[in-house]
Amino acid sequence: MTDTLAFESIGGLAARIRQGAIGPVALTEALLARIDALDPHLHAFLTRARERALGQARAAESALRGGHDLGPLHGIPYAVKDLYDVAGLATTAGTRWLADNVAATDCVAVRRLSAAGMVLLGKTHTVQFAFGGVGVNHDHGTPHNPWHRVPHAPGGSSSGSGVAVAAGLVPIALGTDTGGSVRIPAALCGTVGLKTTVGRISRAGVYPLSWTLDSVGPLTRSVEDAALVYQALQGADLGDETTVGVPPHEVLGDLRRGVKGLRIAFGETVFFDDVDAEVDQAVRQAGQVFRGLGAHVDSMAVPEVALAMGEQKRALMVAAEALAVNGRLLDEHFDTLDPVVVSRMAAGRALTASDYFAVMRRWATLRARITRTLADVDALLVPTTMAPARPVSVVDATPESYAEHNAKYLRNTSLGNILNLCAVCLPCGFTAEGLPIGLMIYAKPFDEAMALRVAWAYEQATEWHARRPDLSWAR
């Protein structure tokens, strides 16, 4: 399989399929062969669903030949994070203790992509229980960030999905985002990541970390690809009460409207504090791009961000909700689970019920306040992470080093989860070492159309998204 085809966008692949240049079966076979060749070095995939993939590809090809075209996703291969239920496959959530947790049915997200004609190639690695921003897994192994031959942090917890897309193993992979788990791997691996508002996409059948904060989102190679997949995934589902009463909205029509006249601001509160110089410079330069496109670019304080950052019990909230799901496994297997994960999760036992409800009320107040603060702003520009990818040997050298880097990767993203903002992360530069830098575009809750529109305009005006990692070391 040529790199040109491996790194083609969904739109490009769809055009090739309809031109007869390649069929869904040949495309699926080529990507499976690429995974076979490269993944022993990249370690992005936990499970490959070869027979299912080929069956779906044959069905997609037959339907197209019969004149039944389901749209731009028809015949396009993809992967899902190892939190998504797929019939007949184990949902292990990154731990060997759930190896027998075989799903009876597909989750809602997988069903919706199947209905759009997509082809599932397999499941990608995640941080154990999806509880970590670095991307390290001491049980199943850590995916290798494709931008460096020396193992670097892939970002978590959707680590395998980020690596799979960045390395051209699949054009799109689903992740989940509770505190940044779509956006961090997107930033560190140089892909696009869409963090959706809770309530936009059903999480039914997705192994939970925090029911309050969990969201479903794609990692892709382009903003348009993210919009195409988002369009197919959204919609109400009785299996996830947060989606009930939230009507789907159309985002593709506004994608190319540009940013002329839009009000875009750098979010100066907290987000730029102690950020690496190369990251700061790359994100600031994005402002010049938007000015050149006709947007009004300014800076603004966002006091709700500082208040969210100052919430002393915010980390315990996720830990406590995660314990509600994984408490039995911690009780029975604590000494054999990933120590950097379970030590943080066990701390959730210190959160009292009254504390939990008090924090929930404070978060609700902050969410209402930030909607008013951003009333006259279309989007915020901030760094996705405080630092680029670092060598795994450095990040994971000691528990203290892990905690330090985990905080650096999670800070700017997790604040958006608390405030229920939606966001797009996309590449805005590279470090002197050749590692990607992520720009995060925050928009108001349920305004994914605006986040995608602003991101698309920036992507089209720059070339960062067109760069590809040198994978000669993995061949």
- Note the pTM of the prediction, 2 decimals: 0.98
Residue in this structure with the two tokens 């990040």, named with its chain if needed: 395
Structure-token pair, residue 235: 């919609």
pLDDT for res 475: 86
Nearest-angstrom CA–CA distance, 75 and 13: 9
Nearest-angstrom CA–CA distance, 76 and 82: 20
Helix axes 24-42, 50-65, angle to 10 degrees: 150
Structure-token pair, residue 107: 């989750």
pLDDT for res 37: 97
Pairing of strands 192-195, 263-267: unpaired
Strand runs labelled E in 137-271: 172-177, 192-195, 215-220, 263-267
Side-by-side strand order, sheet with 422-430: 45-48, 119-124, 77-81, 172-177, 215-220, 192-195, 422-430, 436-443, 379-383, 263-267, 296-300
**Which residues partner with 426 through β-bridges?**
439
User: Is residue 146 exposed (0-12), middle (13-18) or buried (19+ Cβ within 10 Å)?
Assistant: buried
Q: Which helix (H) or strand (E) holds 173?
A: strand 172-177
Tell whether omega for the bond before 157 is within 30 degrees of 0, i.e. cis. yes
Nearest-angstrom CA–CA distance, 401 and 373: 36
Of the candidates 81, 123, 195, 408, the residue annotated as catalytic is: 81
SS3 (DSSP) at 427: strand
Structure-token pair, residue 433: 């070492």
Pairing of strands 192-195, 215-220: antiparallel
pLDDT for res 312: 81
Question: Is-contact 156 182, C-beta < 8 A?
Answer: no
What is the C-alpha R_g of the chain? 21
Q: Decide which of 3.40.50.2300, 3.30.70.600, 3.30.750.24, 3.90.1300.10 is the CATH code for 3-474.
A: 3.90.1300.10
pLDDT for res 146: 98
SS3 (DSSP) at 442: strand
Phi-psi region of 141 (alpha: psi -120 to 50; beta: other; left: phi over 0): left
Query: Within 10 Å of residue 371's Cβ, how many Cβ atoms?
Result: 15
State yes or no: is 81 an active-site residue: yes
Nearest-angstrom CA–CA distance, 389 and 470: 16
Of the candidates 157, 158, 159, 202, the residue annotated as catalytic is: 157
pLDDT for res 248: 94
Structure-token pair, residue 243: 């989606």
Task: Tell whether the torsion through CA atoms of 189, 338, 312 and 241 is positive or negative.
Answer: positive
pLDDT for res 144: 98
State yes or no: is 210 an active-site residue: no
Nearest-angstrom CA–CA distance, 89 and 225: 26
pLDDT for res 140: 96
SS3 (DSSP) at 59: helix
pLDDT for res 2: 86
Residue type at position 6? A
pLDDT for res 1: 79
Domain segments of the chain: what residues? 3-474
Of the candidates 158, 181, 202, 210, the residue annotated as catalytic is: 181
Residues of the chain below pLDDT 50 = none
